[in-house]
């Protein structure tokens, strides 16, 4: 959480949060205990969406990054995060435009 930027960052595990959900769901349908895992991940995905909605309603910005993107290139994700936070600061420092 970056409270100065009013920003929350989530790092989502590919499996637990259902990255490429259609494909993952098809794979799970052929595995042991498919009903459990499909329901579990579907609940996680619903919870993720409701958390984003609740946080945004409270004025927070929400950034989500996938596990494999972070593992593949942590520096690229860090750079993207830094650029995003810097743009938020620039936005916050911009004077309000008058409405005449």
Q: What burial class does residue 25 get, using C-beta atoms within 10 Å of its C-beta: 0-12 exposed, 13-18 middle, 19+ buried?
A: middle
Question: What is the value of pTM for the model shown?
Answer: 0.83
Query: Could you tell me how far CA 85 lies from the centroid of its own chain?
Result: 15
Q: Where are the domains of the chain?
A: 3-93
pLDDT at 100: 46
pLDDT tens across 38-91, in order? 999 999 999 999 999 999 999 999 999 999 999 999 999 999 999 999 988 887
| pLDDT above 60: residue 98 | no
Dist. CA 10–CA 48, nearest whole Å = 10
Residue 17 sits at the vertex; the CA angle it makes with 24 and 87, to the nearest 5 degrees, is 125
**Confidence band (pLDDT; 50, 70, 90) for 96?**
low
């Amino acid at each position: 959480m970056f409270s100065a930027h009013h920003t929350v960052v989530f790092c989502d595990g590919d499996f637990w949060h259902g990255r490429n959900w259609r494909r993952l769901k098809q794979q799970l349908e052929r595995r042991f205990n498919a009903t459990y895992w499909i329901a579990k991940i579907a609940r996680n995905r619903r919870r993720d969406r409701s958390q984003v909605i609740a946080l945004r309603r409270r004025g927070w910005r929400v950034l989500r990054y996938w596990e494999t993107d972070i593992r593949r290139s942590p520096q690229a994700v860090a750079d993207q995060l830094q650029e995003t936070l810097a743009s938020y600061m620039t936005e916050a420092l911009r004077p309000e435009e008058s409405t005449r």
